[in-house]
Amino acid sequence: MAKLYFYYASMNAGKSTNLLQADFNYRERGMRTVLFTAAIDDRFAAGKITSRIGLDTPALAFDRATDLAAAVLASGADAPACVLVDEAQFLTTGQVDQLATLADAHGIPVLAYGLRTDFLGNLFEGSARLLAIADSLIEIKSVCACGRKATMNLRVDAAGKAVAAGAQTEIGGNDLYIALCRRHFSEKLAQAS
């Protein structure tokens, strides 16, 4: 039975690197994959999954209107061996349900990778649905500057000061976000309020 997996972590934990490694493993064995990434994240290039260590590969870009199941089922004569989704936090509830249908009704494993929470510690829509219905939840570990496990994403301004208000989504990397343990996240966010 195919499963829906959710690999989640804070910023800079290696989610995209893990996804690219999983994709490579399938393709190395001659298996076809379908990759998706959020159209909103075009930091490196639109329709490309890029890791901080320099790996990248083309992917289908999705937005809130994309029917992921239809795109997968139309992608080739035979079903792919696996579907991999980067930036899964940007999925809608309906899109996560489509991914579950691919696993349940079509026997296609789906590996979704994304953030659990935003810069204020709130769940993203896609992450909330994945946490609710995924068959397997896997946390990818990252480390706070204090040495504890980093679970939170602090948004910072150009001066490195914590940001406590703003839109849920602002695309950026190390220039805008710092992965912290809950204690240090709470302290810095309280200072910014």
Residue 164 class from Cβ within 10 Å (0-12 exposed, 13-18 middle, 19+ buried)? middle
**E strand spans, 46-151:** 48-50, 56-58, 60-62, 82-85, 110-115, 136-139
Q: List active site positions.
A: 87
Give mean pLDDT, residues 146-170.
84
Q: Percent of the chain beyond pLDDT 90?
A: 69
Query: Dihedral angle at the C-alpha atoms of 70, 127, 136, 53, nearest 10 degrees?
Result: 90
User: What domains are there in the chain, each with its CATH number?
Assistant: 4-140 (3.40.50.300)
Residue 53 φ then ψ, to 5°: -90, 10
Buried b (16+ CB within 10 A) or exposed e, 65-76: ebebbeebbeee
Q: Which residues are annotated as a binding site?
A: 9-16, 86-89, 144, 146, 181, 184
Q: Which residues are annotated as a binding site for Zn(2+)?
A: 144, 146, 181, 184
Q: Which residues are annotated as a binding site for ATP?
A: 9-16, 86-89
User: Considering the entire predicted model, what is its pTM?
Assistant: 0.91
